[in-house]
Structures are given as structure tokens and as C-alpha cells.
Structure 1
């Protein structure tokens, strides 16, 4: 603008409107972050279902609609068969687990209290996570605990996520096209590419994660059964599900198994600890590298701090969805920053 010229009022007003709109959009995203995480969960379900439907369509030469119906029936059949075969036993063992764990923890504390140093360490940790000693860790734990959902609320939200996932699966283009209308025209092609690459990366990440979860659940269940640990099926299922939250989840899931093994005997607890450790090493050093050749490879440090950040900023759902969110963020960073800003056209997005 030339020196001394009067700025165009229309241009100034439009810029102010853009800034205000951006601020309101950010405030809305913060206020609705829980709902947006549920939407992201529905997107994950849709990505998985469409990936399965695509594989069926390629092999069975069905129509897209027919393949999606078959994919849905396969998922329902697998879940129904698992519930029919093991549902009653798993439910009984989960009930046993919830009843036995407090007694196992009390027994563990009694053994620890015999050693003054160990007792003080455990007391400090327990106080830190309960927030009773005023530590920063306690404050974080209390903040995370504030987001804990009731069982009824969690069930309702799970139902909504599944229904939303079905809607996204049936007609994803309608939602993508609707979202793109809110973006500037010059960026729509890049955003569409990033969304497609994100779906591809999430599909491969889901496949790798499900394989790891199945391996861990089966291996731990068989191992704990061989050791005579009670509620072995529930503990194995818990350990498998914990793989969805990498690094931190498996460690936390191992604690109940070791505590229940301690009720059988100290030697059983030692063997259970060794079982968890060996299973984790086999999964991390043998299974994961083979899976990552056809899936998504992310640095462990990035996953660790991503899970912590997700838990502190967004609560339990943030920790649960931290890894797939990192996958999507990494794709957008590569396409918009590495390629668009830095000009590295050969950079590959995760899962490419």
C-alpha cells in the first residue's frame, strides 16, 4: 500500500471477519473436543470397514455395496461367535477380576510393608497418583480422572460411534465434499489428497494394531492359564486391548496379572512378570517389524509423548486415540509442510 494511502474499508472488514471467524472456530473446537474425538472414533470404524470391504471386493468381484454388506456380516459374525463361545466365561472372569484385585493389592501392600524402603516408595507412588501429597503428578492424575466416564455413558457413546461409523462407511464422499466446501479453493485438492492418504495410513495402522492385539491376547491368556493364574482370559483380553494405547497401555495391563499371580505365590508372580516381558519383546522385536513392512512405522518416543499429551489435554479418549491422531497429523505435515513449504516432492507420508 502506498505511503499515506487510506486502507480499503472493505478489505479491512473482511480481514477482521476472518480473524473473528477463526477465533470462534478454535473456541468451538475446544468446547466440542470430546464430541470431535467420538467423530474420529467413528471415522476409524468406517476406515476399517471400508478397508475390509475393499479387500473382499477385489477378491470376490462383488459390487461396492455388496462387499460392504459382506464386510459388516463378517464383523458381526466374528463378534457374535466370540461372544457365543467365550462371552459367559469372559464375563465371569471379569467379575472375578474386579472382586479379586482389591484383595490382591492388599496382599501386595502387606508384603511390601515388611520392607521400610519399598513401603515408602509405594506409598509415595500411591499418594502421587491419588493426588493426596500435592505433587504435580497428583494434579495431572486428578485432571485425567475428572474426564472418567460412567459405564452407561461409555456404552451410549460406543453405540453412537458405531452408528456414526456405519453412516460414514455407506457414503463417505458426502462428508468429505461437505468438509471441503469450508476450505479455500486453492487448498481443496491438497486437503483431498491428505484425507485420502490419512485413510490409507489409518487402514494399515489398524491392520497392524489388530494383529498385535490378537497375538498379545492369545499368548498372554495361554501363558497365564499354564501358570494357574485366575481370570486368565479376562487378563489376556485386557492386555490385548491395551495394545491400542502403545507403550503405556501394555505396562498398565500387566499390573493386574502380576498382582493376581502373586495371590497364587511369589514364584508364579515372577513367572507371570517374565511372561509379560517376553511377550512384549517378541511383539516389539519380531512381530512389529514384520507388520510395519506393510503398515505404519512411527518412532516409539513420538508415540509415548503423544499418548501422554493426549491424556493430559483430552482425557482418556485423547490417550485412546493418540496414536491414530498422530498418524493423521504426520500425513498432513508431510503433504502441507514438507512438500508444500519445504518443497521436498519426494517425501512420503506414513503408510505410503
Structure 2
């Protein structure tokens, strides 16, 4: 009887203690919106939560980091090694499956870095960064929209004129005495057109549909790149800070100096390349209008786009324009070739040094090799980014690798 009474008393005493115990849902170490109600029945977790509540302060609201794990133990070595292999395989798989998206992201980031000098120039003059980014973005959209508005109507008219002249062009191809007929006979252009028309109709239709799909995809990719460029440009300071936070504290100042110099070189190269391409586009339009070469606007736009590709872009553009100038006369075609030779000389020895200065200081051999390798790996995009990438690699070698090798 006594034992029973004592047991009943102990039970009642515990119930009273629970009734008068502090509210665990508001005790330190508990989150008020996670797994309520809290109680002492959690055992070791409740004790750890009490310790966690006393381990927080204003400087460390989530507590101070504990001691690192012993990475030299056999288990940790094997675990880290297998995890490294799995992560590497996963990254390779992600890159392969999302290569097209990653390429668009890379192009957008490259363009954002190229437009950053304009934004920074406005910020240095007292403009808030948000307003500076908005102004540059609006200017970019206005330039693109204005180009399309000014080019679509003439391009459509010239395309219609080309379609209307198609019978006359075919007649010239059949005339062996004409310039176009002689060139067509050597290249067998008429035979190829007849084979294409008289061949399988479905092949021609599929080719036209494929061209339409490719054009729509190119327009969609351009819109995506434009939007991502604006986003990257707006958040470039936070991206820069995050990238430098990944560098150890002891090496961070040196990496900041080298990294900012690389970003400045890339920005100067992009802006300079766009300016030089605009110059050759305007010069081409004026030249073709003077000699009444057809499709002047379309050809000048094509020349400006091709000139963005270093080393070979302007040469290919000159060949295309000279071939079209053959429709006027041989002297006009030869004069067009001479025009592009003179312009290439002025671009290499006057425009590039004046516009870009020493921003991208890359030897000529490295320039040619980097453009060829970039073109093989990534096509036109690789050729566009080859020179600034080569400049960045050259500067890192000169500032970090070569001095260490000289001291070894």
C-alpha cells in the first residue's frame, strides 16, 4: 500500500512538474515554427537544443562552427574520393545535357562584362547603379529595336526585288557570254539548282521548314541572351563578391587585382569590337550606295556582323561583297576588293590601336591560334571570345605562373 501510494505520489509530482515546466516552444534553441510542441521527451535532442540556445549571440546567430572532421582517416579519404568521382561525373553529365543553355548563359555574361564599363562610367559620375543599368539596358533595347525597324522594311523590299529578278538571273546564268553566266558555268550553279528543284519535293519542303525553325530558334536565343545580359549586368557586383568569397583569405587581394584587370580587358575589347564593326558597316553601306551595288543595306549588316569575328571576319565579308559587286561590273568588283584591303590595313594599324589601345595586349600569333581553336571548339561564339580569353590567360601566366617558375 505504501509503495502504491508512493508511486501515485511520484506520478502526480511528475505531472505537476510538466504542468509548471517552462514553454518549450519558446525556449532558446527551438524555432517557433518547426515541429511544435517541444518537450523533454526528446531526450538528448532537448539537451542539445538547450546548449544551442546558449551558443547563439548577435555575431553568430546560428552558432560558431565546430572543429573540422579528420580528413586523414581511411574512411574520410575513401568517402571524399568516391564523392569527388560522383560529383565530377554528375557535373560532366549536367554540362553535356545543358550545353546549349550554358552557351547562352556564357554569351550573356560575356556581353554583360562588355557593357560594364559604360555602367561604371555613369556610376563614377554620381548616377545610382540601378539607374545606370536601366539606362544602358534601355539604350541597348532601343539600338536593337531601331536596327530591326530600320532594316526589316528595306530588307523585305530588297528580298522582294531579288525574287522578282530571279527569272532574269536564271537567264543570265544560261547566257555563257555574260559575267554571271561564265561564273555559273564554272561553278555549275544552274545544274545544282535544277537538281534541287527536280529532286524529292519533301526534301525541299523539309529544308524550308528546317530553315524556318532555325530562324525562330535564333530569334528566341537572341531574346534570352538579351534578357540574361540585363540581369547579369544588374547583379554583376554581387556576382563579383560571391566569386571572390570563394578564394582563400590569404590570396584574395591578389586575385581581386588580377580578376578586376581581366574584367576591364574583356569590357574594353567588347566595346571596342562593337565600335569597329559599326564603322565598317557604315563604310560598306556608303561604298555600295556610291557604286549602286544592289542589296547595300543587307550586305552592310552582314559585313558588320562578320567583322565581329576577329582575324577572318572582315576578309570573308569582303569576298562576299566583291562577289555581289560582280553583278555590276568587273571594275566595281576589283575596286571593292581594293577598298577592303585598304580598310583592313587602316583597321589593323589605326582603328584597333586607337579604339582598344593596350586593353587587349595579345601577340599576333596567339591571336590567330586562339581564334582557330575557339572556332573549332565553339564555332562563331568561340571565335568571338577567343581573344579576351587569350588575353586573360596570358596575364595570369605573366603575373602568377611565370614568377613562381622563375623562383623555383
Fold match by TM threshold 0.5:
yes
Moved more, 96-105 or 262-271: 96-105
Give the corresponding residue for 1:235: 299
Partner of 2:105: 39
Deviations 1:291-339 (A, max 9, x none): 2325323233323332322232223433343334334444444454335
DSSP-derived class of the 2:326 partner: helix
CA contact (8 A) 2:119 2:129 kept: yes
- Structure 2 residue 177 is the aligned partner of structure 1 residue 111: no
Residue 132 of structure 2 corresponds to 67
Counterparts in 2 of 1:1-352, with a 5 A limit?
Answer: 8-26=74-92, 28-59=94-125, 61-85=126-150, 87-93=152-158, 110-112=181-183, 150-179=214-243, 191-338=255-402
- How big is the shift at 1:275? 1.2
Does the 8 Å CA contact 2:111/2:270 hold for their aligned counterparts?
no
Q: Secondary structure at the match of 2:308?
A: coil
Distance of 1:185 and 1:336 partners within structure 2: 17
Aligned 8 A contact 2:307 2:317 in 1? no
Tell which deviates more after alignment, 271-280 or 182-191.
182-191
Cα gap change, 1:264/1:342 in structure 2, threshold over 3 Å: closer, same or farther?
same
Range with bigger deviation, 221-230 or 177-186: 177-186
Secondary structure at the aligned position of 1:263 is classed as coil
Q: Following the alignment from structure 2 to structure 1, what is the Cα–Cα distance between the partners of residues 288 and 180?
A: 22
Is contact 1:37–1:318 with CA below 8 Å preserved after alignment?
no
Answer 1 or 2: higher relative contact order, Cα 8 Å, separation at least 6.
1
- CA shift in 2, pair 1:248/1:94, >3 Å: farther
Q: Which runs of 5+ in 2 are unaligned?
A: 1-71, 189-212
- The DSSP-based 3-state class of the residue aligned with 1:315 is helix
TM-score by length of 2: 0.64
Report if aligned partners of 1:94, 1:234 keep a CA contact under 8 Å in 2.
no
1:140-167 deviations in whole A, cap 9, x for unaligned?
Answer: xxxxxxxxx8111111111111111111
Contact 2:180 2:327 in 1 (8 A): no
Call closer, same or farther: CA 1:258–1:100 in 2, change over 3 Å. Answer: farther
Whether the aligned pair in 1 keeps the contact of 2:119 and 2:133 (CA below 8 Å) is: yes
Structure 1: gaps of 5 or more residues? 1-5, 124-148, 345-352
The one-character-per-residue Cα deviations of 1:37-81 (angstroms, maximum 9, x if unpaired) are: 21121112222333212222334x222222222222333334444
Larger CA deviation: 218-227 vs 292-301: 292-301
Deviations 1:178-233 (A, max 9, x none): 55566666666555544422221111101221221122111121112112211112
Q: Does the Cα contact within 8 Å between 1:217 and 1:239 map onto a contact in 2? A: yes
Cα 1:96–1:309, aligned 2, differ >3 Å: closer, same or farther? farther
- RMSD of aligned residue pairs (Cα, Å): 3.8
> Number of matched residues?
310
Report if aligned partners of 1:57, 1:64 keep a CA contact under 8 Å in 2: yes
Q: Secondary structure at the match of 1:229?
A: coil
Distance change >3 Å, CA 42–CA 70, structure 1 → 2: same
